[in-house]
Amino acid sequence: MALKADHPVLGTRALNRATLERQLLLRRATGVSAKDVVGHLVGLQAQNVKPPYFQLAARLAGFVPEDLSGLMESREVARLVTMRSTIHTHTADDCLTLRPLLQDAREKELRLFRTGLAGVDLDHLTAYSRDLVEERPRPVKELRDALAARWPDADPSALAVAARGLLPLVQTTPRGLWGRAGQVTLTTAEKWFGRPSEPAPAPDDTVLRYLGAFGPASVKDMQVWSGLTRLRAVFERLRPRLLTFRDEYGVELFDLPDAPRPDGDTPAPPRFLPEFDNLLLSHADRSRVVPPAYKGRASHGNIAHRALLIDGFLAGIWRVEESRAGTAGRGTSRRAAPSRTTLTVQLFARPTRQQRADVAEEGERLLTTMAPADAYDIRFADVSTDPTDQAPTDQAQSPTSR
């Protein structure tokens, strides 16, 4: 559709501030719960265990990791595969409604494994897998082995991937709890929450929620975030309820009429974001957060770094390292000796004195919230134009279909 000449233009800084405000990154939210924030953001990227905790720490005033762990233990939130075939932490309601909306996309991915699934009746596979994981939560290896025994001529890994794509499989606790180890063990969302999934809803409500958390945004932005296609008709249906803008390149953007759109000069404090934070993954054009000069700097190949925002834009990467002097005592009464936690920040350009001080202040808050220790260090690595030079090493593989 041709754009009208009177479409207001939103520049990069205006888009940046609007998105940061909705992402609760201009100021931390107060008076709301961790569960409210998980719902508002339509899930937290959770390919690794810790990122959801760091995402909430950057967005929610007074957050402590036990807030999210408690929600997971009480089954108010859980981890399962949704957008972009990636594990997210969602509220129970979203696990049971959002996943059905995305089900067709998950099933289309099985075409990538059709060779390994030759001769397998997918309806039979779905029913048999459901029986296995609803009898009791199953570790991935146990599920894979049981499926391989039933279909010995198929590829065991393809069978397990198919089960994950055909069923809404939740990762049960203790997996995902802060400070707790646990292998990936699966059951269905229906079994875990004790209620049935809802029928696949129309995507209209999810489009509105996406705009509320990531807008203003284009049709392509929504498709990149969700993994859904052919959403133009949905936006056209919603057009009478939305405002329209265009970016500096003429791309049409949609937004909620009452959504905040702060001035581009609104102050944006530093924020430490985990690897794969949805802020960096949920638009076709990421320049509203990632300056063109730093494109690709938050990752190297399929390795992702933790991202630091300064003035609302990607400005560096970071890592946290913990050192422990040893243990004291013997037998069952052994206790951890005093520890030191070090935050190392590598900026892509030399900061001003005030920026450096603000980053250090935000870093101290991060450490005292997320890595309690007896002593802290905050170090700034040398500025480098090469993202592999002195890059922080607590990296993570990019999201996969696991």
Q: What are phi and psi of 332, to 5 degrees?
A: -75, -10
Q: Does residue 100 share a domain with residue 169?
A: yes
Q: Does residue 19 share a domain with residue 130?
A: yes
Q: Does residue 277 share a domain with residue 296?
A: no
Summarised one tens digit per residue, pLDDT across range 144-173 is: 999 999 999 999 999 999 999 999 999 999
More confident residue, 45 or 401: 45
More confident residue, 199 or 347: 347
Q: Does residue 262 share a domain with residue 300?
A: no
User: Is 400 contained in some domain?
Assistant: no
Beta strands 375-381 and 339-347: pairing type?
Answer: parallel
User: Is 22 contained in some domain?
Assistant: yes
Residue 27 belongs to what domain range? 1-289
Query: Hey, what are 45's tokens?
Result: 């990227």
- pLDDT given at position 334: 43
What is the DSSP secondary-structure string of 144-189?
HHHHHHHSTTS-HHHHHHHHHHHS-EEEPTTTT-TT-----EEEEH
Mean pLDDT score of the chain:
90
User: Is 174 contained in some domain?
Assistant: yes
Q: Does residue 228 share a domain with residue 96?
A: yes
Summarised one tens digit per residue, pLDDT across range 57-108 is: 999 999 999 999 999 999 999 999 999 889 999 999 999 999 999 988 888 8
User: Is 11 contained in some domain?
Assistant: yes
The Cα–Cα gap between 187 and 164 comes to 10
The Cα–Cα gap between 317 and 259 comes to 30
DSSP 92: H
pTM (two decimals): 0.90
Q: What are phi and psi of 62, to 5 degrees?
A: 75, 10
Q: Does residue 105 share a domain with residue 186?
A: yes
**Does residue 274 contact residue 281 with C-beta atoms inside 8 Å?**
no
pLDDT level of residue 298 (50, 70, 90 thresholds): confident
User: Is 280 contained in some domain?
Assistant: yes
Q: Does residue 367 share a domain with residue 252?
A: no
Q: Does residue 298 share a domain with residue 250?
A: no
Look up the CATH number of the domain holding residue 378: 3.30.70
Indicate if the pLDDT at residue 175 is higher than 50.
yes
Query: Hey, what are 282's tokens?
Result: 């949920």
Q: Does residue 184 share a domain with residue 90?
A: yes
**Does residue 253 contact residue 19 with C-beta atoms inside 8 Å?**
no
Per this entry, what is the length of the chain? 402
Q: Calculate Rg over the CA atoms of the chain.
A: 22
Q: Does residue 269 share a domain with residue 131?
A: yes
Q: Does residue 356 share a domain with residue 230?
A: no
